[in-house]
Amino acid sequence: MLIIIFSIIAIFSGLYFWFRGIKNAKRKLSEVGAFSPETAVKPEKIKVWEVYLEQVAEKTEDGRYYLLCKDEEL
């Protein structure tokens, strides 16, 4: 029974950190104004893991990321 409880807690905490990372990626891209391929930034510049950026942003050919919409809720 205790193992089941700890497993459920681990799943929820993992989901929490995953969604927090995605929200952080959106916020940082928005802060630097990365809304087009011309203003796109590399993950190292905004200090966000690429795995989160892949979920929320478009990638340019040279490995930079940008958001598609300025109005998207952060």
Q: Tokens 């940008």 — which residue? A: 66
Report the pLDDT value the prediction gives residue 73, as an integer from 0 to 100: 56
The domain segmentation of the chain, as residue ranges, is 2-66
Give me the pLDDT at residue 71, please: 61
What does the pLDDT profile of the chain (74 residues) look like in tens digits? 788 888 888 888 988 888 999 999 999 999 999 999 999 999 999 999 999 999 999 999 999 999 987 665 55
Taking CA atoms, 19 is separated from 16, 38, 60, 68, in Å, by 5, 27, 23, 19
Amino acid identity of residue 43, one-letter, is P
Give pLDDT, residue 14.
86
